[in-house]
Each structure stands twice: as C-alpha cells, then as structure tokens.
Amino acid sequence: MYVGLLVRRACNVAGRTNSPTYEWLFLGQATAEEAFRLLREFGISVGMPHAKHIGGKLWELRPGANRFFYFAYIGRRFVILHAYRKQSQKTPPQELALAERRLAEVLEGGVEDG
C-alpha cells in the first residue's frame, strides 16, 4: 500500500520518528480508513466533504475531526505530511505552516519507495 509506505517515509523526514500522523495511522488511534480508501480509489478527484484543496500541491483529507495534510507525489501515490485534530472552524496557522514546511522538505529530498 503506497499510502502506508510513503507515510512512514514522510514521518521520518528530517529525523522525525515520533509523529502524530504515524501514531494515528499505525497505532489504531485514527478512524480514517474509509477516507484513505476513497483517496486510493479516486485520487485527488475525491473532493468535498472528504478532501479539500488547500492550494498549490497541498490537500487536506477530512475524516471526522481529524485533518491530514497530503500531496500527490507521483501518479496516484500520496504523501501524508501532517495531521491534527480539528478544534475550531479555521485551520490553525501553525498546523498549515508545518504542513507547508514538510512539503518543501519532501520535495527537496524526494521520497523513496520501500
């Protein structure tokens, strides 16, 4: 499953080994399986209410109160950059800034399969 492989890679960008994204996805704290299935099946055309284009290459997957920032890497592969739990109507600026910073890091260094 490319999403899982790329999430593991993205969580380790710049030496990160403990990440909320990794914990939610792989330690059973997220209920995002259906949203990821839709993303795999429909790609960036999944649309609202499941996904929202933030701008440029950045998208937001929206399962319940969780938010996952991601981008389409190559073809139908996606990199999950950051996740947080929604607590207000607006995206907190620091959450968006972190996702944008990680996007730049991944684009600069690339993502390895495997």
**How do residues 1-28 score in pLDDT, each as one tens digit?**
344 444 444 544 444 556 666 655 554 4
The pTM score is 0.69
Residue 68: is its pLDDT beyond 60? yes
**How do residues 21-62 score in pLDDT, each as one tens digit?**
665 555 444 457 778 888 788 877 888 888 899 999 999 988
- Which two tokens mark 49? 């209410």
| b/e burial code for range 11-23 (CB count within 10 A of at least 16 → b) | bebeeeeebbbbe
Least confident of 48-52, 74-78, 92-96: 74-78
Domain boundaries, the chain: 2-109
